[in-house]
Structure 1
């Protein structure tokens, strides 16, 4: 059996890892007895070489096997996850969280998988908790939530206990400004294994490789997206500001290239319309946004939520195309259906 050090040396020479070698590396990374210095050297060598789509898919497959199974197989073939990798440093509102609520209100099972904020003021888990959604919900409650609300939230630390042995190394590298494969893996290892996914990524360079990785993992359909809302800024999601690029996989594999607000019959907006705040501020914005009222929330933010929700409904085969998905999402918001859904969610978890 190879050692982590020998695998590191292989990476330093520029050689890619096989799926079997990646399985071995994953075992070392979650091993409490393995030195942190060896783990750090391996992750830095992998990043320096450059991870391939096949390597990312193999790491995701390995860590999926270590995840706790929530027992939601009955919903998985119809379910979607809407999330981003994080790491874009943009400080935007929690668009993907709002989108997950709209999509659930449309009747699509949503397997939301997330964590507390590491780099932003308000992560998805922080906002979920503020809304009253339990992060420590037992598996039976998660399944009941899917039955009642078409929604459940998988709080990442509860479903990936093996990661506790990697977290100190990740934090140490993050403090040095170093990105590793773990900046990409979170959205790929949803413990519920949904068939559909809308994934945003912090770098344009990763759009196509991550689409390839999700295709290799066997998802039915989805899009990987990256946005450039204005010069010098990036987004790990679609928006109506600036430019977006997407890469499809599964049944949407032919969907490649630019995707703009106009593709969803929406106007463009300035980046400032998307900026979020802390948990308290984002909670107030979320409630206004989902109320159906057009007051108190910027049009650009509302339309960016509609663009993403429309894409998610299209991916999950609940709309024929992006414009019809956007129209369906708009109807759900304006009719009060999403506000009603949010109130039912509050009552369910309290």
Structure 2
């Protein structure tokens, strides 16, 4: 048993009257001890559920991110005129609405905007459809690449994926605990704003509950993160909804200033107010292939709605309307399909090099 960890556990697990928040340094220490399994399983499980009940603070999230920065993987800076977008999505996947973020990532990278995604396999507590499965169905298998190989793909295509089982096994080791406690611990919140990139980045984080956005803002301010976007998205992702107004927070140049609030109404841009449901993986991939071929569909509307917003926000287009038009042109012209083919070819080449070696 770790006496040092027990002292940290006592602070977060002592209840409303005597419990205390951790400092940034304490949160970083606790996270390092959990990742390294220096605390006992009983201590780790107790900490995760106690911290969830207490609810994390932004300062605690900042400390957890400090530990991830110290122990986790990072893709190295690439030569690009664009700040790299980090798309933060829930690791436990999607179960109700059709995800569009892989198409968004392809659109952005095809337009010259580098993107990094991160995640793992089907994970607790939702065990929804994960990003890595969608990519595999599209012909891009990130799961067998080392970090160095992923770096090669990222440098050649502007798209990278940090796959936890391969690149960050310390974090992967926490998922058994998360399954056993049956609830998302604060690590599931922190992961949405983790940045596995060593260069200049813009973090895009989805969330469900408004207090979570406030935690994000505090963590960003504490860490001096200047560039970020928050999205009250579908199932906590950064996919913009179509059935309601999209509520978005945009960072200012000063991380200590309030965010700029943006409300986007789908019908103002000619979109129907309807989300595409996730019926099955097969149905989703068929619909995605249709989108990549530039064919009209409900999922195409979702792709244009999201692609237009992100092309605008990364500076490729001057406004939302021109972003939507640009997204449509990239899809209908076959440019996005060509980008997908390029990624598969580069990945295959990297994999062949490993086999030869």
TM-score relative to the length of structure 1: 0.85
**Structure 1 runs not aligned, ≥5 long:** 229-233
Question: In the alignment, is the contact (CA less than 8 A) between 2:35 and 2:170 conserved in 1?
Answer: yes
> Which residue of 2 is the match for residue 122 of structure 1?
129
Question: In the alignment, is the contact (CA less than 8 A) between 2:93 and 2:130 conserved in 1?
Answer: no
Deviation track 1:76-98 (CA, whole Å, cap 9, x = no partner) reads 96211224225686522221111
* Alignment partners' CA distance in 1, 2:109 and 2:33: 38
* Alignment partners' CA distance in 2, 1:216 and 1:310: 31
**Structure 2 runs not aligned, ≥5 long:** 349-357
> Which residue of 2 is the match for residue 201 of structure 1?
207
Question: In the alignment, is the contact (CA less than 8 A) between 1:114 and 1:125 conserved in 2?
Answer: yes
Q: 1:279 aligns with which of 278, 281, 304?
A: 281
Tell me whether 1:46 sits opposite 2:51 in the alignment. Answer: yes
Tell me whether 1:343 sits opposite 2:341 in the alignment. Answer: yes
* Alignment partners' CA distance in 2, 1:87 and 1:116: 8
Across the aligned residues of Structure 1 and Structure 2, the Cα RMSD in angstroms comes to 2.7
* Alignment partners' CA distance in 1, 2:247 and 2:338: 33
Question: In the alignment, is the contact (CA less than 8 A) between 2:28 and 2:65 conserved in 1?
Answer: no
Tell me whether 1:147 sits opposite 2:155 in the alignment. Answer: yes
1:109 positional shift: 0.9
> Which residue of 2 is the match for residue 231 of structure 1?
none
> Which residue of 1 is the match for residue 170 of structure 2?
162
Deviation track 1:56-111 (CA, whole Å, cap 9, x = no partner) reads 12211211211123334545962112242256865222211111111111111111
> Which residue of 2 is the match for residue 172 of structure 1?
180
* Alignment partners' CA distance in 2, 1:181 and 1:168: 15
Aligned counterparts, 1:181-196, within 5 A: 181-193=186-198, 195-196=201-202
Q: How many residues align?
A: 335
* Alignment partners' CA distance in 2, 1:213 and 1:307: 29
Deviation track 1:9-66 (CA, whole Å, cap 9, x = no partner) reads 2122332111111122112212334211111111222222221122112211211211
Question: In the alignment, is the contact (CA less than 8 A) between 1:56 and 1:185 conserved in 2?
Answer: yes
* Alignment partners' CA distance in 1, 2:120 and 2:212: 21
Tell me whether 1:3 sits opposite 2:4 in the alignment. Answer: yes
> Which residue of 1 is the match for residue 216 of structure 2?
210
Tell me whether 1:242 sits opposite 2:244 in the alignment. Answer: yes
**1:32/1:55 CA distance change after superposition, 3 Å:** closer
* Alignment partners' CA distance in 2, 1:219 and 1:317: 19
